Amino acid sequence: MEINQPAAHLDQMMRQTRAHHVQLSLMADSKANMILTVASLLIPLSIQYLNDPKFKAAAMIMISFCVLTVVLAAYAAMPKLRMENKRKLPKEPKGPMLNPLFFGSFVQMGYAQYEQQMEALMNDHNKAYQAQVREVYVLGQYLYRKKYRFVRLAYLAFICGAVASSVVYLLQAYS
């Protein structure tokens, strides 16, 4: 990546884009928390209907889908960190995806290595912009693949469970 002339408008654009990604991440966490709470509350409320033959099938369906919803929503909100054995890490992490601005990259380094990487980054505006662009890209990919995907699946599981249990109840009630 080669930036011909660094400028304040580029800095502002990068700040704004990163802030937008953080806001999207907070929104995904909030949505996951909401659906997790609702599904968690419906489980004990549905359990009381398991003894009634008229409601048993509908309650079992609702509980099953609520458990699935809780699992998906919790996974969406759960931090995804790679737990690697420090003995297996190279002494000096390098590569195209190394980004000293992202904690997932720099936690693998000692402070001296991190300081060296940051010094190189701060003294070369092309590298600095490249690291910021990479960070925005990785954050966007993470939001798409890890957060919003599972939040969406959690909502779909909840809706399917609500519809399926309602249909089963109505079929049993009117047959």
89: left (phi over 0), alpha (psi -120 to 50) or beta: beta
Least confident of 14-28, 82-96, 108-122: 82-96
Q: Which domain holds residue 42?
A: 15-81+90-173
d(CA 150, CA 156): 10
Contact (CB, 8 A) for 73 and 165? no
d(CA 39, CA 65): 8
Element (H, E) at 7: none
Residue 118 backbone phi and psi in degrees, to 5: -65, -40
In a domain, 6, yes or no: no
What single DSSP character describes residue 147?
I
In a domain, 5, yes or no: no
**pLDDT over 90 at 2, yes or no:** no
Contact (CB, 8 A) for 96 and 113? no
In a domain, 106, yes or no: yes
d(CA 72, CA 95): 33
Q: Looking at the 3D structure of the chain, how many domains does it have?
A: 1
Least confident of 75-79, 83-87, 95-99: 83-87
In a domain, 132, yes or no: yes
Task: Return the pLDDT at 89.
Answer: 43
In a domain, 4, yes or no: no
Task: Return the pLDDT at 87.
Answer: 43
Q: For 16-69, what is each residue's pLDDT tens digit?
A: 998 998 899 999 999 999 999 999 999 999 999 999 999 999 999 999 999 999
In a domain, 110, yes or no: yes
Regarding pTM above 0.75, the answer is: yes
In a domain, 1, yes or no: no
In a domain, 10, yes or no: no
Contact (CB, 8 A) for 58 and 172? yes
